[in-house]
Amino acid sequence: MTAAEGPTISVVVPAYNEERYIAEALEAILAQTDPPLEVIVVDDGSTDGTAEVAGRYGDRVRLIGQENRGCPGAFDTGFREAAGDFVALCPADDVWEPRKLEWQRQSLARHPDVDVSFGAAERFGLASGAHHAPRDIGVLDTRAFAREMYPENLIADPSAVVRRSLYLDLGGYEPLVGEDYEFWMRALSAGATFHFDPRLHVRLREHGGNLSYRALEIWETKHLIHERYAELAGDPELVRRTLAHDLLMIGYCRAALGRSGDARRSFRASLGTRLSPLSLAAAMAMTVPGVARAVSSVAPRVRRVSTGIGG
């Protein structure tokens, strides 16, 4: 496929202390059957050998160093430096399938109005299994997809390519854990067009240092996003159910950290949002001396549950 048959795609790889994994990520990017316009690694203040590993690829990789600003700040630098029509997101610990960019350029050439194209993803490492996906494939109905996205993030960000002008027009990522989920919801609210390809695009590495194990912070962020974009759900009962579940999970996380008072308040807030057997049982258990420890012993299991925030 020639450049005239599809948009140009830059790849942005944010990296913070990813010396162990970044070479595998870069090898998969550089081995794409349809190579990207450019590969930009944003070294976000790493203190290990991340920059040295990335530097070994010479002019095949453009290395940008900056003080640590977190993943949102690293992505933001990459988007603003990129020259492509679209930007493909690839955290340094994930691994693309060989035809990912080929498939996406083909899809974008067929559907020039698409702003975000994403594909199927699966996890490996400390956890395994498929990332949740939308029911439909191809160009998605915005209202229906927004309703699906409201309770859970269905887009694995390393599987996505994003129109660069959309990112800039919407003001980029917010400095949040789960910045991608908030951005997808903001893009849906603005009427952006999404496309889903059910073929496997990326393998998401699960390890103790990445976002899926920052359970409390992630559930608190999900709750903030669900409050902010409640109108996108188009269903008051779905909103109540989702917010109540967020508060229940926040309570479990707080209990796991030994924050019993905060956990009780979260369980009561969950009950006040929507009555459910789980919230009622948790709230009652936390009022009984000694039983709070039992709740706390169960709570760490939420760390092994997919949080739906992103890769």
Paired sense of beta strands 116-125 and 194-206, if any: parallel
Question: Which domain-ending residue is among 184, 212, 240?
Answer: 212
- Shared domain for 95 and 132, answered yes or no, is yes
- Shared domain for 164 and 186, answered yes or no, is yes
In a domain, 170, yes or no: yes
- Shared domain for 56 and 201, answered yes or no, is yes
121 forms bridges with which residues in the sheet? 202
- Shared domain for 23 and 74, answered yes or no, is yes
pTM over 0.85: yes
Report the alpha-carbon distance of residue 182 to residue 112 in Å, rounded.
24
pLDDT on residue 261: 87
Return the structure tokens found at 275. 């009555």
- 85-116 pLDDT, tens digit per residue, is 999 999 988 999 999 999 999 999 999 999 99
- Shared domain for 75 and 206, answered yes or no, is yes
In a domain, 310, yes or no: no
Question: Which domain-ending residue is among 161, 185, 212?
Answer: 212
Return the structure tokens found at 265. 């308040």
Q: Which amino acid is at 280?
A: L
In a domain, 311, yes or no: no
- Shared domain for 37 and 16, answered yes or no, is yes
- Shared domain for 24 and 146, answered yes or no, is yes
In a domain, 201, yes or no: yes
- Shared domain for 204 and 262, answered yes or no, is no
pLDDT on residue 274: 86
Q: Is 236 exposed, middle or buried (0-12, 13-18, 19+ CB in 10 A)?
A: exposed
- 28-82 pLDDT, tens digit per residue, is 999 999 999 999 999 999 999 999 999 999 999 999 999 999 999 999 999 999 9
In a domain, 267, yes or no: yes
Report the alpha-carbon distance of residue 214 to residue 246 in Å, rounded.
15
- Shared domain for 93 and 168, answered yes or no, is yes
- Shared domain for 195 and 239, answered yes or no, is no
Return the structure tokens found at 47. 């203190």
pLDDT on residue 292: 52
- Structural domain boundaries enclosing 141: 3-212
Question: Which positions of the chain have pLDDT values less than 70?
Answer: 1-4, 207-213, 279-311
Report the alpha-carbon distance of residue 149 to residue 173 in Å, rounded.
18
Report the alpha-carbon distance of residue 131 to residue 298 in Å, rounded.
24
The CATH number linked to 17 is 3.90.550.10
- Shared domain for 242 and 175, answered yes or no, is no
Question: Which domain-ending residue is among 212, 227, 259?
Answer: 212
In a domain, 160, yes or no: yes
In a domain, 43, yes or no: yes
Q: How many domains does the chain have?
A: 2
pLDDT on residue 211: 47
- Shared domain for 23 and 86, answered yes or no, is yes
In a domain, 309, yes or no: no
The CA distances from residue 72 to 181, 201, 234, 309, in Å, are: 12, 22, 29, 14
166-194: b or e for each residue (b if 16 or more CB lie within 10 Å)?
bbeebebbeebbbbbbbbbbbbbeeebbb
Give the residue among 275, 115, 279, 105 at the shortest CA–CA distance from 201.
105
pLDDT on residue 302: 45
